[in-house]
Amino acid sequence: MKKIIFIALLAAMGCKPKTETKEETTIAHDSTKTMSSIQKSAFGKLADGQEVTLYTLTNDKGIELKVMNYGGIITSLKTKDKNGVSEDIVLGYDSLAGYLKATPYFGAIVGRYGNRIAKGKFKIDGKEYTLAANDGQNSLHGGLKGFDKVVWNAAEAMTPNGPSITFSYLSKDMEEGFPGNLKSEVTYTLTNDNELKLDYKATTDKATVVNLTQHSYFNLSGNAKRDVLEHTISINADKFVPIDKTLIPTGKLQSVEGTPFDFRTMKAMGKQINDKDEQLDFAGGYDHCFVLNPSTDSLNHAASVIEPVSGRKLDVYTTEPGIQFYTGNFLNGTITGKYNVVYNKRFAFCLETEHFPDSPNQSQFPSVLLKPGEVYKTSTVYKFSNL
């Protein structure tokens, strides 16, 4: 009886009681076009019994993002082609089980340090720290159990710009060998301007290194119909970061002029990918950080990609100094993903906004050091449109 009276009082005040089921929760916002919303549903359990939740964000233009609290992994991102057909433009799996196997970081938040650290070692104030060597002799993407393999806390919100979800995680002192208790937050906002906005924030109680990024594998053909070699791309960079045969930066910055790395004007990803070039040989294609040209804008336009058949276009904006362009060189046909598609070599590309690889060991690179009292903050926007 008391519950009925309470609900009646809420109704009289113009409030609606929140309704929630164990299986699914929906937060929605009315729009004159469609309805932007957030839906929450169960997505399975980890071996230790932790429950994994999948969140579906939809903006008022009909773009749909699916992301789970395990690794902050984007499992699906559906956008419309030039004919209005909505299809998935990222690689991934149909179920949680795929992500729990050896997977190449599909759609994940990577950290505490995205990209490589030479020989898994670095120093802060003269003290050496040792990380797991999980990529040959080097450390890659945070180690054996990086941010892509943990369950994050999640908080959903409907913002004036669109549906949003904030993931937070406390990485404890010496987790994977990194010093300091690091509090991290990553907010995904699917704006009604057809943007996926990523806001990163972190604080620490001890000097540490931080380089967070998002590792979605894109294929703008829709549902991964074909490889990405005919996608055209431009990158706002006069220089790139050359690497050695272990994929660690040499420490120098090289001009793109006269090289296969000149993407200052649009060209097909596959146009020069098989050229005789030492840098391409080392990586088996493109897997390099590009040094973004300076900008006075708060968000620097980093890159544009167009898939000519579907007409889909992706623009990337960021506050970061670099962007890693990767052409799926290590995909080899051993993974069958969503829609029963076999992911062969170069079936996707990544554009990971970041500080440069191995920055903790390269004093001439922009610093990745975070000290107590400081706040690590970066932003990246993936904007979707059509020709």
Which active-site residues does the annotation give? 215, 352
Where residue 358 falls (left for φ over 0; alpha for ψ -120 to 50; beta otherwise) is left
Q: Are 200 and 153 in contact (CB under 8 A)?
A: no
User: Judging by beta carbons within 10 Å of its beta carbon (0-12, 13-18, 19+), is residue 147 exposed, middle or buried?
Assistant: buried
Q: Are 308 and 279 in contact (CB under 8 A)?
A: no
List % helix, strand, coil for the chain (3-state, nearest 5). Answer: 10, 40, 50
Q: Are 107 and 93 in contact (CB under 8 A)?
A: no
In degrees, rounded to 5, the angle at the alpha carbon of residue 299 between the alpha carbons of residues 291 and 30 is: 140
Pick the closest to residue 341 from 219, 213, 180 (CA basis). 219
Neighbour count for residue 325 (Cβ, 10 Å) = 25
The set of residues, in sequence order, having a beta carbon less than 8 Å from that of 303 and lying 6+ positions away, is: 233, 234, 235, 236, 263, 315, 316, 323, 325, 351
The set of residues, in sequence order, having a beta carbon less than 8 Å from that of 87 and lying 6+ positions away, is: 78, 79, 81, 222, 223, 310
DSSP-assigned letter for residue 199: E
β-strand partners of 46:
none
Distance, in Å, from the CA atom of 252 to the CA atom of 237, rounded to the nearest integer, reads 15
Amino acid at 246: T
Pick the closest to residue 378 from 314, 305, 323 (CA basis). 323
What are the b/e assignments for 69-108, b being 16+ CB within 10 Å? bbbbbbbbbbbbbeeeeebbbbbbbeebebbeeebbbbbb
